[in-house]
Each structure stands twice: as C-alpha cells, then as structure tokens.
Amino acid sequence: MAQDFCHPNHMYKTELKNFSIEDIASSGQCFRLVPGTKKAEFKLIAYGRVLNISHVGSDYSFSCSKSEFDTIWQRYFDLECDYEIYKNMIIPGDLFLREAIRFGGGIRILNQEPWEVLISFIISQRKSVPAIRTSVERLCKAFGESIDDQSYAFPTAKALDQADEKALSSCGLGYRLPYVKKAALAVVNGDLDLEKASKSKTAKLIETFMKLKGVGIKVASCVALFGFHRLDVLPVDVWMRRVIDTQYGGSFPKEYLKYAGVLQQYMYNYARLNKINGKITLSS
C-alpha cells in the first residue's frame, strides 16, 4: 500500500510473445477490452478493476504494479502457457489454420470471471460482437459498482436479481432478459454454485449450465471454455459451422480435439474478421 501511495501511476512493463492485445480484443471472447483514445492503447475492466494497456510491438505496459500483474493479470491473460504448443499442432497441409494463426496469432484464451462469461454469452445469442459489447456495457453502467467516474464493474448476481425490470430492459437484452434474470436468481438462491461447478468435469459442467433457460450447447461451451478454461471444449456458432463445413468437410479435425477451444478461436477470429463464408483458396 505504501508503494501505491508513493507511485500512483505505476506501470509494469514486460515483453510478451505470442500475444497481441488487438487480436485478443477483437476475438469475441471478452467484451470489456476496448481500444482507448490513442492507437495501441486499450482499456480492460475485469475483476472489479481497470487496467490500461499500451504497447510498442511486443513491449507492453500495464497500469499496475508488478505484484498486481503477477497475482491477477498474468493468469488472466494466460501468460503461464506457451502458445507455441498450440501453434505447432497445425496439421501439415491445413492452410486454413496456418493462415488463421498468421492473421491472429496473438490470441490467448483468457481466464475471465465465470459469472461475467455466463451472462455475457447468454446475451450473445443472435447478436453481433459489437452489439454484445453495447449491451454488456449498458448492463455494467446500470447495475455494476462504480470503479471510477466512467468505469463500472460487471454487475453481481445479486444486483441483477434485484434489478428493476424497466432499467434492465433498457440494456437491449431483448427476449434474453428473462434468461439473465433467471440465471441471477439461480446464483442468488444457490441453485447454481459457480465455485462448486468449477470442480466438476467438463461434461458435467456443460450439463449444469444447460439446465438454465436460454443456455444451450453453444453458450454452455463458451462458458466452459472462457470462464473455466476447459481448452478441449469446442463452441460451434454460425461462423465455426461454416468453417467446419467448408474447410474441414463437416467435422472438426480429431487431431485438434485436445485443444479444440484454442484452435477454434484462431479459426473463428480469422473467419469472422475476413467474412469468409465459403471455401477459400489458400496457396502454400
């Protein structure tokens, strides 16, 4: 604390490989990591904190102390893991994945808060990524605890459970509003125990979330992957459906299944940002 007082604007600098904040921000797994006012600057809100990030190439600066970085953000950005392992899994001849990794090789699978992931992905259904961001941000502003004058934490289950119906509906949730309400109630009344869920095996975990109204296999898979770091889980949305059908003959390569969640993220990102609908021709 003394150190914080003496250095209110502390910065932690480090070089990061296989890491790009731009790639992560656009990859559709996290909706509260957004570009700042200047180029190569980003603002993240997670774990009730604000983190400003800037970089020149692979030299990154984070608006926190080294100890905060080590205890929170290192894990959040999955920096303990060497992503070369995943990149080296490319099957020779899989030009699509190779191209996807060339395009967005700085992606990481974040360790986000399960509750935030659950609600964000309930909201995500039949919404575009920019529209999800808008809804989530409105939700935070309306019901989240204030961190500073323009930053709000993700609302707690209790806050959403008690949320005024009208105020909630002004967040653009549409028909998903009762789903959000019911998920909040489930956590508040103990029907859904996220701490306990984190200890169950992946199949059981997914099953647990699918009991919630408005949570099907895709949303439950996203929660397992992004909220519980189950890297073998493969969420299939409209983009991944197209990728699987047009690039892999209808089924995800079995060689990739162990880390399907990571590899699909490269694929999803590449397909969505390049609007790849049909089979594309890639040359070696």
Partner DNA sequence: GACCAGGTATTGC
Partner DNA sequence: GCAATACATGGT
Instruction: For DNA, give the closer residue by CB, 63 or 269.
Output: 269
Residue 66 beta carbon to DNA: minimum distance, rounded to whole angstroms: 30
275 part of the active site: no
**Among the listed residues 219, 224, 231, 263, the single contact to DNA using CB under 7 A:** 219
Contact in structure between 109 and 262 (CB atoms under 8 Å): yes
Q: Which is nearer to DNA, 64 or 229 (CB)?
A: 229
| CA–CA dist 86, 162 (Å, integer) | 43
Cα–Cα dist 158/276, whole Å: 41
Q: List CB contacts of 123: < 8 A, sequence separation 6 or more.
A: 132, 135, 136, 139, 173, 176, 180
61 CB burial (10 A radius; 0-12, 13-18, 19+): middle
Interface with DNA in residues 106-135 (CB under 7 A): 121, 124-132, 134-135
CA distance 36 to 39: 7
Site string for DNA, 13-32 (x = CB under 7 A): --------------xxx---
Give me the catalytic one of 87, 213, 218, 254: 218
Rg, C-alpha atoms of the chain: 19
Give the binding range for DNA (CB under 7 A) out of 54-62, 188-196, 247-255, 260-268. 260-268
Q: Which of 44, 63, 272, 276 binds DNA (CB under 7 A)?
A: 272
Backbone angles phi, psi at 16, to 5 degrees: -125, 130
CB of 273 to DNA, least distance (A): 10
Q: Whose Cβ is closer to DNA: residue 203's or residue 217's? A: 217
Q: Is 239 in the site for DNA (CB under 7 A)?
A: yes
Q: What is the dihedral of CA 126, 127, 129, 130, to 10 degrees?
A: 170
- The reply to whether 213 sits near DNA by the rule CB under 7 A is yes
Instruction: Name the residues that contact DNA, by CB under 7 A.
Output: 27-29, 121, 124-132, 134-135, 169, 172-175, 212-220, 222, 235-240, 264-265, 268, 272
Catalytic sites, residue numbers:
218
